[in-house]
């Protein structure tokens, strides 16, 4: 496979030098990510939604025959991070969930897959069960267009014949580690499916197997303020330098974008170095139960029944200290403002308008489980995030929003 592909690349290069000026653009490309909070059915219990996803993550080892179980639950698509992806020629545009916690790319949940001259039916049945959603169908090979002009030839994608739990989205763009596609092809359970990042790299479109992600804190329920960069990092999205840390060796965090980190509240350590993950599809920040108990007592927060979050008074808010994430040799501080849910969005999560809710929650198991924290979206709104697949490492950097007081 690989030598043939390389040969093709060489022929293509030779042709392009000899003939028309075909340019191979291998500088990083950034695509917009939209966040949508679906509150059409009234307030959403984001905590409950996150928990379903976390349970699925932890259970990932127990995949059943004939389709992976675990990874991303996408319940009612109440909070989604979407990217527009063109498939086929002429291309049909699909709205796909950007998911760092799974790696199959598939379409057909809402907008049906439109076959064009570039569609190739492989006849291979594929199935993924995501905690509280699923799809099954057939694997196709097709051309994918990301943004304007970033084209992937011969990308393997799932075409759903049935799916559950996906409303108003067309499927998933899976940008997690490729091994998460293992056990998804029914007839070839140990075969993995190259991800879009793998193909962009092997086709020479990007020169590094690197994905960068940026978000900004927001007080709107629907906003396009995220960026997904393939092939490098987008220097306009962060300040200072990126600190890298290796993917953790601790299972099951090691199968995702997992890292080791410790946490201190002010100068007090509340969680010793342990393994967990970074995830765009989890809304809040989750920490091991023992660490959470220390955080709760240090902040004085009381569990709020309506939202499930910790409620604090305005004087407790004024006394909040930084929550410091020690990752590799760097420290990333969530300021007091970064630790609270945006007050203007309180009603959407079932809270009362002037209340102050902390967005750090309990993962539900004590330290040492191998899955002791999730640095979710509310963390990633404050720090730029890089996944470097070739070097099995994850990086973070401060942004101009790290210290913002948006919330
Ligand atoms: C929001 O979710 C409901 C189901 O809870 C669904 O019927 C509706 O189509 C969704 N709307 C959007 C814009 O996602
Ligand atoms: C793939 O899944 C099979 C079980 O179906 C397992 O034996 C194998 O170790 C897995 N390989 C990877 C790379 O995860
Ligand atoms: C992470 O922590 C585990 C458990 O303490 C340790 O074995 C491992 O060497 C650490 N580093 C990495 C990169 O996994």
Counting ligands in written order, the one closest to the CA of 80 is 1
Give the helix, strand, coil percentages of the chain, each rounded to 5: 20, 35, 40
Answer whether residue 3 shows pLDDT above 50. no
pLDDT by residue (tens digit) across 316-350? 999 999 999 999 999 999 999 999 999 988 988 88
Within this chain, domains 11-211 and 236-398 share the same CATH topology = yes
Tokens of 66: 């004939």
Pocket test for ligand 3, best of 245, 246, 248 (most atoms within 8 A of CB): 248
Q: What is the mean pLDDT of the chain?
A: 86
Atom of ligand 1 nearest to the CA of 41: 5
Q: What angle do CA 365, 324, 336 make, to 5 degrees?
A: 100
Measured distance CA(324)–CA(331) in Å, rounded? 6
Work out the average pLDDT over 309-316: 97
Assigned CATH class of 236-398: mainly beta
Answer whether residue 27 shows pLDDT above 90. no
Instruction: Give residue 272's pLDDT.
Output: 98
Q: Count Cα neighbours of 396 within 13 Å in the Cβ-side half-sphere.
A: 26
Give the residue extent of every domain in the chain.
11-211, 236-398
Q: Which of 32-46, 87-101, 266-280, 296-310 has the lowest mean pLDDT?
A: 32-46
Ligand 2 pocket member 190 (CB < 6 A) = yes
Q: What is the CA radius of gyration of the chain?
A: 21
pTM for the whole thing?
A: 0.86
pLDDT-derived band at 39 (thresholds 50, 70, 90) equals low
pLDDT-derived band at 40 (thresholds 50, 70, 90) equals low
157 CA to middle of ligand 3, Å?
34
Would you tell me how many other CB atoms lie within 10 Å of the CB of residue 249?
11
Residues with Cβ within 8 Å of residue 59, at least 6 apart in sequence: 69, 70
Instruction: Give residue 405's pLDDT.
Output: 95
Instruction: Give residue 41's pLDDT.
Output: 65
**Burial of 138 per CB tally in 10 Å (0-12, 13-18, 19+):** middle
Beta strand extents in 179-283 (DSSP E only): 210-214, 222-230, 243-246, 258-265, 268-278
Instruction: Give residue 130's pLDDT.
Output: 74
Answer whether residue 153 shows pLDDT above 50. yes
Measured distance CA(156)–CA(222) in Å, rounded? 31
**Burial of 2 per CB tally in 10 Å (0-12, 13-18, 19+):** exposed
pLDDT by residue (tens digit) across 352-387? 999 999 999 999 999 999 999 999 989 999 999 999
Distance of CA 341 to the CA centre of its chain: 20
Nearest CA to ligand 3 atom 12: 248
Answer whether residue 6 shows pLDDT above 60. no
Answer whether residue 251 shows pLDDT above 60. yes
**Topology annotation, domain 11-211:** Cathepsin D, subunit A; domain 1 (2.40.70)
Nearest CA to ligand 3 atom 13: 248
Nearest CA to ligand 3 atom 3: 250
Ligand 3 pocket member 248 (CB < 6 A) = yes
100 CA to middle of ligand 2, Å?
20
Measured distance CA(208)–CA(393) in Å, rounded? 13
Instruction: Give residue 239's pLDDT.
Output: 95
Measured distance CA(184)–CA(63) in Å, rounded? 10
């Amino acid at each position: 496979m690989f030598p043939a592909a390389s040969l093709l690349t060489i022929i293509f290069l030779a042709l392009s030098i000899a003939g028309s000026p075909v340019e191979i653009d291998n500088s990083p490309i950034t695509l917009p990510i939209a966040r949508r909070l679906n509150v059409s059915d009234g307030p959403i219990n984001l905590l409950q939604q996150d928990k379903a996803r976390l349970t699925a993550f932890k259970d990932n080892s127990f995949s059943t025959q004939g389709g992976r179980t675990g990874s991303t639950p996408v319940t009612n698509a109440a909070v989604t991070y979407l990217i527009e992806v063109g498939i086929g020629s002429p291309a049909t545009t699909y709205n796909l969930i950007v998911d760092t916690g799974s790696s199959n790319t598939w379409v057909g949940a809402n907008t049906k897959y439109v076959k064009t001259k570039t569609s190739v039916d492989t006849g291979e049945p594929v199935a993924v069960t995501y905690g509280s959603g699923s799809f099954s169908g057939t694997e196709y090979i097709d051309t994918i267009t990301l943004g304007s002009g970033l084209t992937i030839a011969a990308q393997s994608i799932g075409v759903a014949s049935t799916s559950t739990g996906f409303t108003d989205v067309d499927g998933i763009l899976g940008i997690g580690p490729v091994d998460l596609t293992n056990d998804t092809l029914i007839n070839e359970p140990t075969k993995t499916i190259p991800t879009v990042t793998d193909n962009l790299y092997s086709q020479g479109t990007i020169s590094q197997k690197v994905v960068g992600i940026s978000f900004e804190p927001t007080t709107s329920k629907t906003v396009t303020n995220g960026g997904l960069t393939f092939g490098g990092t987008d220097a306009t999205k962060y300040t200072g330098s990126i600190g890298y840390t290796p993917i953790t060796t601790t299972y099951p965090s090691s199968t995702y974008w997992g890292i080791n980190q410790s946490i201190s509240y002010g100068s007090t350590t509340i969680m010793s170095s342990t393994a967990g993950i970074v995830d765009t599809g989890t809304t809040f920040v989750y920490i091991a139960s023992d660490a959470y108990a220390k955080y709760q007592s240090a902040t004085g927060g009381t569990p709020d029944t309506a939202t499930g979050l910790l409620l604090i008074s305005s004087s407790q808010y004024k006394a909040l200290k930084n929550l410091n994430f020690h990752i590799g040799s760097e420290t990333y501080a969530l300021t007091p403002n970064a630790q609270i849910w945006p007050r203007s969005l309180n009603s959407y999560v079932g809270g009362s308008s002037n209340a102050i809710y902390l967005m750090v929650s309990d993962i539900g198991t004590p330290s040492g489980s191998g899955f002791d924290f999730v640095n979710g979206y509310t963390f990633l709104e404050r720090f730029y995030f890089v996944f470097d697949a070739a070097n099995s490492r994850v990086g973070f950097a401060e942004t101009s929003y790290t210290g913002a007081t948006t919330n």
